[in-house]
């Protein structure tokens, strides 16, 4: 475990990125680059749970904590990737307290949640470390709910105060789409929603997170109090690297002509 939860509680700012190619090799490359955490995306990414397992194995020897975004708050979706070794779960489009409770139920063993017990899984080193894993799960497993809908903006305080929810993570694309201002991240209505989320999280002693693709936005969000920051994705890194190389080669070719 990479102690993401305890670092957030201390007030550290943690940097992460998305993994959406489903590749254990790009996962390993990104993990070795120095990010505090990476997110394996099972909602929109190219991979399935099978590829997620291979990516976790590739990330094991890196310094990056492993978060998995599941497709929904269904118990089976959450506990399967936890058993594989995920250190945190992100669940998209949580609307209210009832849905947030479903996430928490999947994260933790009874009595706090309803996660099923299986000792012979990767997370417990195939039963060699179950007791320690069980006893420290509440202090190590990170619960992240995504703030992406109009409805959730009316329930932020309730959700932030729920034990087991550690991060309120803003999804800019979906939230701006719901607000009718898609992609307008400097729009007053979007910024008001961000500020409202940060305020609720701070009051409850929780963290706020966000994903963006332009590093120039870092200061704006950090100054608003956001400490769980994601920028970029493995697909973006590959695409931009390839494009930059082609542009350089084309420029050199023209100089040689």
Residues with active-site annotation: 44
Measured between alpha carbons, how far is residue 42 from residues 17, 220, 225 in Å?
A: 14, 29, 28
Half-sphere exposure of 176 (CA within 13 A, CB side): 16
Q: Tokens 């998305």 sit at which residue? A: 18
Closest CA to 26 of 234, 237, 242: 234
Measured between alpha carbons, how far is residue 26 from residues 1, 20, 39, 55, 183 in Å?
A: 21, 10, 12, 8, 28
Other residues' Cβ atoms within 10 Å of the Cβ of residue 55: 29
CB 75 within 8 A of CB 84: no
CB 75 within 8 A of CB 46: no
CB 201 within 8 A of CB 168: yes
Closest CA to 176 of 160, 153, 158, 154: 153
Other residues' Cβ atoms within 10 Å of the Cβ of residue 75: 17
């Amino acid at each position: 475990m990479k102690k993401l939860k305890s670092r957030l509680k201390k007030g550290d700012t943690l940097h992460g990125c998305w993994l959406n190619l489903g590749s254990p090799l790009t996962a390993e490359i990104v993990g070795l680059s120095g990010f505090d955490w990476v997110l394996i995306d099972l909602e929109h990414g190219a991979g399935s749970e099978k590829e997620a397992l291979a990516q976790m194995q590739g990330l094991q020897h890196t310094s990056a904590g492993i978060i998995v975004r599941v497709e929904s708050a269904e118990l089976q979706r959450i506990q399967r990737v936890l058993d594989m070794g995920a250190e945190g779960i992100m669940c998209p489009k949580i609307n209210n307290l009832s849905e947030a409770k479903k996430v928490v139920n999947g994260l933790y063993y009874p009595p706090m949640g309803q996660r099923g017990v299986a000792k012979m899984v990767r997370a417990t080193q195939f039963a060699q470390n179950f007791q320690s894993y069980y006893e420290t799960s509440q202090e190590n497993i990170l619960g992240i709910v995504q703030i992406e809908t109009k409805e959730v903006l009316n329930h932020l305080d309730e959700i932030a105060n729920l034990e087991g929810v550690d991060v309120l993570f803003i999804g800019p694309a979906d939230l701006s789409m719901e607000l009718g201002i898609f992609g307008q991240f400097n729009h007053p209505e979007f910024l008001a929603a961000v500020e409202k989320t940060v305020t609720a999280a701070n009051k409850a002693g929780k963290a706020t997170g966000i994903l963006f693709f332009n590093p120039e936005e870092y200061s704006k969000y950090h100054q608003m109090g956001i400490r769980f920051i994601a920028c970029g994705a493995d697909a973006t890194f590959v695409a931009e690297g390839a494009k930059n190389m082609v542009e350089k080669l084309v420029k050199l070719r023209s100089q040689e002509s």
